[in-house]
Structure 1
Amino acid sequence: MARTLLHLVRHGEQDPAAPEDGGLSPLGYEQADRLGRRLAGVNFSQIHHSPLARAVQTSDVLTRHLPQVPRHPCDFVADRTPVPSAARRDDYPDRWLSWLDAVPGEERDEDAAALQRAVQHFGVTGEVDRCELLVTHNFVIGWFVRHVLQAPVWRWIGLDSANCGLTIVKWESDQSPEVVAFNDTGHR
């Protein structure tokens, strides 16, 4: 039975003095280093990271502990906010609609189309076991967890991941996917 393990990591703390796509704060570097030491023994096949600076820098630090693992920027794990289309607004509680309406255009992922493609891309099994590391953002992780739990479409809201929190989801042939760990910060 083939198995896919995805280790989803939120980037380290962003430098609050940096511009919007700023890099890590000193604490963010420390968080990433501690996580890297924790993950050093895991046999990852690849590291996929968001193209934003905070995720790239987190990946840089993790790679020091995982030098044999190839890595690359990956649009599937870019920062996105799922927002309902006009036809799907009833899928979300009214209390969230004004907040979702205010999401900037460049972050909007209408009806989570891009995030659904990300789950379809990564959440599959093949002929052999696969273990991959995804350095990404809070809402992306929330979407993966919501999907695995088969929760209502809006339940990614409130699934908050700490900076460098570790979430592990698993797919096995002929079984439903499962959440192995959510927002594990034992390395911090």
Structure 2
Amino acid sequence: MATRHLYVIRHGAADPFGELTDVGQRQSELVGERLAHLPVDAVWHSPLPRAVRSARIVGEHLPGVAVREAAELIDHVPHVPDEMPPAWAGFFDGYDAAEAAAGAALADALIDRFARPAETETHEVLVTHAYPVAWLVRHALDAPPARWLGLNCGNTALTAIEYRDGVAPTVLLYNDMGHLPPDLRWTGFGPGTRP
């Protein structure tokens, strides 16, 4: 088995209807420029419009690279803890057992498809959402399932994970916004002080 290099990004900033804003388009252009020097084999995206548009913009910087949908990348809650952290109790109000099971099934499908070595050396870009990014990082670190709750990422922040046969995954980058100027960083987070 060969190394799978995943470059995971959250879609650009979007409006309340899920469409990219001008900021989100610019963020997507800048992450596309950052990825342009890499030997990318494929760009995969969630079926939701904000991820589709971000992926297409990224793809414009990667001539000849296929840009395709992967249903496993859709925005979803990957795990509902049995013992709810008090700070998150309101977030999970209304989730029933069927919704939790559907989210867990999607999370398993995401891991089964992307979180493993490849048959040949491959470099793939995944354009997805904050929760699937958190789930992939949590899995790579072999952290407890509820640990995804504390992992958030900014719009078009870059996370890089490598998967090799016989060794644990390597998280090279998480939430890296170095390609964004200060005024385009930290979108997708709530209010607060940021470095």
* TM class by smaller structure: 0.7 to 0.9
Q: Which runs of 5+ in 1 are unaligned?
A: none
The CA deviation at 1:123 is: 1.4
User: What residue is the counterpart of 2:108 in the other structure?
Assistant: 116
Larger fraction in strand = 1
Q: Does 1:156 align with 2:148?
A: yes
Gaps of 5+ in 2: 181-195
Q: Is 1:77–2:73 an aligned residue pair? A: yes
Looking at structure 2, the residues matched to 102 and 135 of structure 1 have their Cα atoms a distance apart, in angstroms, of: 28
Q: Report the TM-score when normalising by structure 1.
A: 0.87
Structure-2-length-normalised TM-score: 0.84
What's 1:89 paired with?
Answer: 82
Cα RMSD after superposing both structures: 2.1
Instruction: Count residues in correspondence.
Output: 179
**Farther-moved stretch of structure 1 (54-63 vs 122-131):** 122-131
Verify the 8 A CA contact 1:83 1:100 in the aligned structure 2: no
Deviation at 1:83, TM superposition (A): 3.9
| CA offset digits 1:4-51 (Å, max 9, x no partner) | 1111100000024xx2xx311101011011111111111111111011
Whether the 8 Å CA contact 1:89–1:97 is kept in 2: the answer is no
Which residue identity lines up with residue 4 of structure 1 in the other structure?
R
Equivalent residue, structure 1, for 2:184 = none
Q: What is the CA–CA distance in structure 1 between the aligned matches of 2:150 and 2:167, rounded to whole Å?
A: 27
Letter of the 2:148 partner, please give it: W
Paired AA for residue 178 in structure 1: T
1:168 matched residue in structure 2: 160
CA distance in 2, matches of 1:121, 1:132: 12
Alignment of 1:13-92 (within 5 A): 13-16=13-16, 19=17, 22-84=18-80, 89-90=82-83, 92=84
